[in-house]
Amino acid sequence: MAAGRVSSLLSCSLSSSMANPSFASQLQTLGRKTKTWRNINRFNTAAQVDELITPPVEIRYTKHLINGQFVEAASGKTFPTYDPRTGEVIAHVSEGDEEDINRAVSAARKAFDEGPWPKMTAYERSRILLQIADLVEKHSDELAALETWNNGKLYEQAAKIELPIFVRLLRYYAGWADKIHRLTVPADGNYHVQTLHEPIGVAGQIIPWNFPLLLFSWKVGPALACGNTLVVKTAEQTPLTGLFAAQLFHEAGLPPGVLNVVSGFGPVAGSALASHMDVDKIAFTGSTETGKIIYQLAAKSNLKPVTLELGGKSPFIVCEDADVDKAVELAHFAQFFNQGQCCCARSRTYVHERIYDEFLEKAKATALKRVVGDPFKKGVEKGPQIDSKQLEKILGHIRSGIECNATLECGGERIGKKGFFLQPTVFSNVQDDMLIAKDEIFGPVQTILKFKDTEEVIRRANKTRYGLAAGVFTKNLDTANTLMRGLRAGTVWINCFNVFDAAIPFGGYKMSGVGREKGIYSLHNYLQVKAVVTPLNDPAWL
């Protein structure tokens, strides 16, 4: 979601013809209509927020990692990083600027031009990547605890879902390292033609805050397997786990200068990395608005290739033949996973008109039962949002939905005054032209829309600037085939969601990005293809 859009968050789409009473007056009307409105919005979970578990991990690394050594920022500056459960500072981290990026790029360039990594046999690189995976797996509990502390995501999610995926992805790309084959190409005339696949060079990678470790592995794994050297800029909200993981990479045998990590802010450190003349490729995951800036900086500098994994407003289509209970459960998971802070969250839930009312009541009941609290506690299903800025953006969207006459079925309020906890929120009677149906909210807000037939829902689902993912829930194979081909999205999940295997490519259509991550497709981002042509004199055969 774009920054600096406070005014637009407080209004509906200009095309809306509805009369829009003020936020306060609608709340008063709701209060008069039913005495249970406040009860609908109250969750019996606020008390859990006040009883926080002390994270079982020590913060060890807060400086930049450049050329195999932890070093302070060139300026000596630091910035605070916070615990989303309390809003309190948990560490001060070195603040990177242009000079720090220059130092990191210089180390990566030397490691690429002179160092052993790109010159190693592919088998040797594979062996080191496997050792890294083993060491990360050994420290998974610490990394998961640190991820939860700095990000607010559920500890069970970090430990049992995300860290195993991290390890699996490293092993997957370790397996690819010695299987990047070249081609012998038939050509007219007496020529031997072959292609070489060479590492692209120094790759700059900018990691988001919502999945700091997971997306670190998505970018670092394939780039290293191809023989590149890297400069990684961590998100300013969540710098701690990237530094810890990078240290483990070096303990496992990665040569100095191959992986450099700089912490800092996007407009300074991120901009310096994207515009650096000695960076050969840039990869970014984040908002579409920032992705445009990255693209411009890359083009204006040395025209480096760019891969972007950006925003989304993914549709989740529940057909009339669906098992409503299963569809409700899956749609709930698809939206509220990771506090709704997921680029492929299914924030537009299209439900067939014949089952709409039943689906809505069950979706609301499911949201009301979702347990909010300390993400370190067992049984908690939702932790805090990342920070106060994101919390206020989400609340702004909720106000917009109410002002546009969407029906607030439940949630919509902050929980407590400490930390950044928000009630799971469900809107019904949502129209396509409302801001909550168009903008990426990036929070725990489910919008439920009604549709009549397949042709209509394909048209409406595709009427968006995004195209990252989509979901379809149906028992009919013909309907599934029609929808999977009709929806313009990089991933279409049929009767499932958030399946992120290492081999499955991920990326978007339209303004959801450029290129693909994971699988064989990600290797293409980090390789140059060179054609080599040699004349053949009097060949025995061609």
Q: Does 19 map to a domain?
A: no
Residues 262 and 405 in one domain: no
pLDDT tens, position by position, 27-62: 333 333 323 233 334 444 433 556 899 999 999 999
Distance CA 495, CA 484 (A): 12
Copy the structure tokens of residue 194: 């072959």
Q: Phi and psi dihedrals of 339, rounded to 5?
A: 65, 25
Q: What is the DSSP string of 405-428?
A: T-EEEE--SEESSSS-EE--EEEE
Residues 296 and 322 in one domain: no
Distance CA 397, CA 442 (A): 10
Q: Does 507 map to a domain?
A: no
Residues 240 and 372 in one domain: no
Q: What is the pLDDT of residue 144?
A: 98
- Structural domains of the chain, count: 2
Of 474, 480, 444, 470, residue with least CA distance to 352: 474
Q: Does 41 map to a domain?
A: no
Q: Which residue has the tokens 């579409």?
A: 288
Provide the strand spans (E) within 156-276.
184-185, 191-199, 202-206, 229-234, 259-263
- Does 309 qualify as catalytic in the annotation? yes
Q: Which residue has the tokens 């698809």?
A: 334
By three-state DSSP, how is residue 475 classified? coil
Q: Does 12 map to a domain?
A: no
Question: Are 445 and 347 contacting, i.e. CB atoms less than 8 angstroms apart?
Answer: yes
CATH of the domain at 287: 3.40.605.10
Residues 293 and 233 in one domain: yes
Can you give the pTM of this predicted structure? 0.90
Residues 409 and 484 in one domain: yes
Q: Which residue has the tokens 């799971």?
A: 424
Q: Does 42 map to a domain?
A: no
Residues 302 and 201 in one domain: yes
Residues 231 and 333 in one domain: no
Catalytic residue among 309, 320, 403, 517: 309
Q: Does 31 map to a domain?
A: no
List of the chain residues with pLDDT < 50: 1-47
Provide the strand spans (E) within 84-152.
88-94
Q: What is the pLDDT of residue 49?
A: 56
Residues 285 and 351 in one domain: no
* Strand-strand pairing, 527-535 and 191-199: antiparallel
Range of the domain at 452: 315-502
pLDDT tens, position by position, 132-177: 999 999 999 999 999 999 999 999 999 999 999 999 999 999 999 9
Q: Does 34 map to a domain?
A: no
Residues 93 and 239 in one domain: yes
Copy the structure tokens of residue 129: 């990547």
Q: What is the pLDDT of residue 184?
A: 94
Residue 540 CB contacts under 8 Å (≥ 6 apart), including other chains:
none
Beta bridge partners of 202: 229
Residues 296 and 368 in one domain: no
Residues 274 and 403 in one domain: no
